[in-house]
Amino acid sequence: MRLNTLALVALLSGALWMETAMAIEEPKYEVLISQPPFELRVYAPTLIAQTFVEGDMDEASNKGFRLIADFIFGNNLAVGSDKAVKIAMTAPVTVEPQSSKIAMTAPVTLEPQSSHLDIAQTKLWRIHFVMPSQYTLATIAKPNNSAVTLQELPRKYFVVNRYTGFNTMARVQEKTNDTLAWAQQQSLKLAGMSQLSRYDPPWTLPMFRRNEIMMEVAAP
């Protein structure tokens, strides 16, 4: 059953990426500090579609991806219409561990990242896609599935650690710890949970994969 589920996710994600591979949009940001593989970035305001799911990192990623892909593929209602629309895929797809269960209400408030958060023990995750920049909360189609919500994010600062390869829980934990250490060296104050952002389709060779651990920090 697990293999069948993983195969379905691979096919679905492959279809999404194949259709949009020539025009994948990424969120806009400016680099303030660059010490490879680390950067301090400031991101422009964005609109995201998000869902909260339980399980380990792989289970949550797969389930969350399917829920949001279902929304952008057409399980939605266009503004001022009784029809569905298709929304373009963007990059990255982001998974974010949560330190405790969060009620499905608005607004969603995140507790600051704990430096001792054990990813292997995390059982609640937020999965989100950035929506194409042409949309606002007022103009984008609304999800039919209440498990998927839309949220506008303000301008934010992130410490980012970029790397290649596969993402095991042990590797994500290692990269998270490295990112936290660099942020502390830069005297930056953490302001949110760590995030794993993945930019590539599932068939990408490990050495060409772009992964980023992102930690929100207060404005320097």
Residue 13 clears pLDDT 80, i.e. is over it: no
DSSP-derived 3-state class of residue 165:
coil
Q: What is the dihedral of CA 137, 62, 197, 170, to 10 degrees?
A: 150
pLDDT at 144: 98
pTM: 0.81
Total domains in the chain come to 1
Assign residue 136 the CATH number of its domain: 3.20.80.10
* Residue 103: domain span: 2-217
In one letter, which amino acid is 56? D
φ, ψ for residue 199 (rounded to 5)?
Answer: -110, -10
Q: What is the pLDDT of residues 101-110, one digit of tens each?
A: 434 333 333 3
| Bridge partners of residue 211, in order along the sequence | 163, 198
Q: Which residue's structure tokens are 């995750």? A: 125
